[in-house]
Structure 1
Amino acid sequence: MPRPRSLTDHQLASAALAVIDREGLSALSMRAVAQELGMSTMGVYRYVQDREDLERLVVERVLSEVDTGAPDSGAPWRDQVEVMARRLRDTVGAHPEAIPLTVVHRHRSPAGLRWSETVLAILTTAGITGERRVIALRALLGYLIGAIQLEHLGPLAGPGTTAITRLPPGEFPHMTQTARTARTMDGDREFLGGLRLLLDGLDG
């Protein structure tokens, strides 16, 4: 019998992420990861207890690639928050099928917690504290998670927007007009436009 392979958390997470990227989140299983690694399913159980453990490793694998260092402290606080938002969007957006896992397991991810800690420090320096700071962080996370999913799973340039432009304008005048405008927008304009509207509210 060959000696069992020794795997690191990073190798397991990378294999699980490869399955998710290629086949979707619903395809993630112990068996699928074992096949990706070229080993038996029982061999995977030497390292993780169940799918939830795999999910946790995937989230840390994805979020560990986010730069969580503090942006230029001399820049306005809004610009600093925008830098942090872009970093999260760019990294997590590379794995859109894994986004739901970041919602469920982000509190267990040291990398995800470091991102939030940096953002909270920026908000605190800007004078946003107490309950307002709680709401600000939750609003930012809610916007980022939703915006990233929409950008990749339902983009403005996608067939959904085109279908809306073909609705009866007499019945849906605002929807059809808005959809025609939406088709001219790229992902950056959509993402940053929404983020800046949110920051306007925090700045008020």
Structure 2
Amino acid sequence: MPRPRSVSPDRLAQATLAVIDRDGLAGLTMRAVATELGLTTMAVYRYVADRDELEALVVEEVLRTLDTSPPAAEPWTEQLRILTERIRAAVGDHPGVVPLLVSHRHRSAGVLRWSETVTGVLHAAGFTGPRRVVALRGLLSYVIGALQLEHLGPLSGSGTVTISELAGHPHLAETARHARGVGADEEFAGGLSIMLRGLAT
């Protein structure tokens, strides 16, 4: 008789997320998750077939509390702003998971629910055909790129200081000096506002 399962999908997802948060996506291995759970590597294969299944589990764990309901009684641009800020809030504490939103977008229930709501808002606003495709992809590109920049190259980091002191690039250096006073929330909201204004025109 096979041994009864002792690790729930939730516990497996939480262990996988702990590995990614600590070691980054590059550190995600079956062995690392097994160690996090106090199991042998082979024991983990009783629950998932491979790393791909671990990735799918952790995407759902991060998006578990994501509210994908359409914001009520708001202009369509405001609805899109709220929906985009929601996904940032859900994923923002786990930057290592951000690339997985792309690679698992076609089968992640959370990503599909969010995308369905966004495309519904775009449809109601008159976006059809390729224009709706580009708008959806643009919003996804913005939120994924902004999250990566926020964590891998934050304006508050040493890279901004270095750029602000460059002698051969005066425009870039001046921009970096201003950037040192821009917070992550202001940066995200400002960029999103620019994009939404572009969609509105």
Q: Please tell me whether residue 179 in structure 1 is matched to residue 150 in structure 2.
A: no
Q: Please tell me whether residue 23 in structure 1 is matched to residue 18 in structure 2.
A: no
Distance apart, 1:159 and its partner CA: 0.6
Q: Please tell me whether residue 53 in structure 1 is matched to residue 53 in structure 2.
A: yes
Aligned length: 199
Whole-angstrom CA distance in 2 between matches of 1:115 and 1:194: 20
1:135 corresponds in structure 2 to 134
Identity of aligned residues (%): 57
Whole-angstrom CA distance in 1 between matches of 2:96 and 2:57: 15
Taking structure 2 as the reference length, the TM-score comes to 0.95
2:9 corresponds in structure 1 to 9
User: What one-letter code is carried by the residue in structure 1 that aligns with 2:169?
Assistant: F
Quick check: 134-143 or 56-65, which moved more? 56-65
Q: Which runs of 4+ in 1 moved over 3 A?
A: none
1:88-115, Cα deviation, whole Å (9 max, x unpaired): 0011111011111121112110111000
Contact (CA 8 Å) 1:4, 1:43: kept in 2 or not? Answer: no
1:63 corresponds in structure 2 to 63
Distance apart, 1:165 and its partner CA: 0.8
Which runs of no fewer than 5 residues in structure 1 stay unpaired? none
Which runs of no fewer than 5 residues in structure 2 stay unpaired? none
Whole-angstrom CA distance in 2 between matches of 1:11 and 1:47: 11
Distance apart, 1:78 and its partner CA: 0.8
User: SS of the residue aligned with 2:181?
Assistant: coil
What are the within-5 Å matches in structure 2 for residues 115-126 of structure 1?
Answer: 115-126=114-125
Q: Please tell me whether residue 101 in structure 1 is matched to residue 100 in structure 2.
A: yes
Contact (CA 8 Å) 1:59, 1:106: kept in 2 or not? Answer: no
2:188 corresponds in structure 1 to 191
